Amino acid sequence: MTDDKIDAGALRGVAEKITGTKIENVSYVSKRLQGGTLGDVRLVEGEAAAFGGRTVPFNIVYKTQDKWERPGDPGSWRREYDLYTSELGKVFDDSFRWPHCYGAELAGDDITLWMEYIGGASGSDLKIGDLEFAAKEIGRFQGKIYSNPDITKEVNFLGDTGYMARDFSQWTPQTVEYRYLRSSDNGMPDKYREMLIDAQENSGQFFADIAKLPVVLCHRDFWIENLFVCDGKIRLIDWDTSGWGYAGEDIASLIADDTPEHLIGEYFRKLVPAYRSGLSEYMDIPKNEDFFIRGMIIIKYGYRFVQMHMFAQSAKDKERALAALQCIYDM
């Protein structure tokens, strides 16, 4: 079915960019990929009727976003518009890039994006070799920008380096997770509790330590559901949380975000060297530099595993949380 929200004239112009052909009219159907009260992402599938009678099929992603405020991250609602209309895309090569953007509009407090539909293997279909490749390529991408900072001088509304610290600051004595972690009868072995509590008590020193790392452009949602591999090439979607951060932040996410607990240790051993390899093409990296990634994983995901244990619906779920914490403990 057609979608009243979609401007047929704009769609025709986008179809012309995709096909490289003058288009007379388009027919299409759309289906929601994801959406909420402030944003909507749809896959638009259709046929473009070119002058002369030729018909060309097309797939495109139509994304709209109303203004909203992510706590501590103003401007994130329009970030993808600013990125896709900047010169940053020139940093990519065909082996690693974001989706092509065929059209972008900012109208008041609303943005509209027409973007390439990305297919291929993603999520749990990705193999460890795919993730190693992705880790190396994000390192190369960050290294290119680090060595040529003028590339981003006209990119506005990027997040700042304080993102991780602000996110961690939510865990206070007023939260149930904080109190649960410190309860001696919660069923969590003391060594895990002590690891997480120690990280929180010494978080000030941790954040001072990572502040000495190179500041790079982070994706900040760098996990398997946003990565696609097609014909041996990496495509990375959803850039609305991106901003300046510290080398290693994205790899900490790739290692621990929704990773099967028995694979966390293997990911740590393999993805950190792959990332270091990519980054070192553009800057001098000490041979054994680990970028405090273990600490980042604890800071970013420790309380998530506490929640998994706390709200587990079965003994098996509790065991999964403990297995993940064991992997981090062993790093």
Q: What are the pLDDT digits (tens) for 97-134?
A: 999 999 999 999 999 999 999 999 999 999 999 999 99
Whether residue 107 sits in one domain with residue 219 = no
> Which residue shows structure tokens 């790392």?
213
Boundaries of domain holding 27: 8-116
Whether residue 125 sits in one domain with residue 89 = no
Of 61, 81, 116, the last residue of a domain is 116
pLDDT at 35: 63
Q: Which CATH number do you get for residue 264?
A: 3.90.1200
pLDDT at 141: 97
Taking only the tens place, the pLDDT of each residue in 217-248 is: 999 999 999 999 999 999 999 999 999 999 99
- Locate 37 and state its tokens: 């009260």
Buried b vs exposed e over 13-52: b needs ≥16 C-beta within 10 Å? bbbbebeebebeebebebeeeeeeeeebbbebebebbbee
Whether residue 161 sits in one domain with residue 91 = no
Whether residue 150 sits in one domain with residue 101 = no
Whether residue 310 sits in one domain with residue 187 = yes
Whether residue 152 sits in one domain with residue 298 = yes
Residue 1 within a domain: no
* DSSP H stretches of helix in the chain: 8-19, 79-84, 128-147, 163-168, 176-181, 190-201, 203-210, 249-256, 264-279, 293-310, 315-330
Whether residue 174 sits in one domain with residue 63 = no
Whether residue 136 sits in one domain with residue 88 = no
Residue 191 within a domain: yes
Residue 301 within a domain: yes
Of 147-161, 173-187, 202-216, minimum mean pLDDT range: 147-161
Of 71, 94, 116, the last residue of a domain is 116
In the chain, how many domains are there? 2
Whether residue 154 sits in one domain with residue 19 = no
pLDDT band at 36 (very low <50, low <70, confident <90, very high): low
Residue 2 within a domain: no
Of 49-53, 131-135, 158-162, 313-317, minimum mean pLDDT range: 49-53
pLDDT at 107: 94
Whether residue 151 sits in one domain with residue 98 = no
For the entire predicted model, the pTM comes to 0.93
Whether residue 138 sits in one domain with residue 102 = no
* Percent residues over pLDDT 70 in the chain: 98
Q: Which CATH number do you get for residue 90?
A: 3.30.200.20
Residue 3 within a domain: no
Taking only the tens place, the pLDDT of each residue in 270-317 is: 999 999 999 999 999 988 899 999 999 999 999 999 999 999 999 999
- Locate 318 and state its tokens: 């509790």
Of 116, 133, 160, the last residue of a domain is 116
Residue 152 within a domain: yes
Residue 131 within a domain: yes
Q: What is the mean pLDDT of the chain?
A: 94
pLDDT at 3: 63
Whether residue 214 sits in one domain with residue 178 = yes
142 pLDDT higher than 50: yes
263 pLDDT higher than 50: yes
Residue 174 within a domain: yes
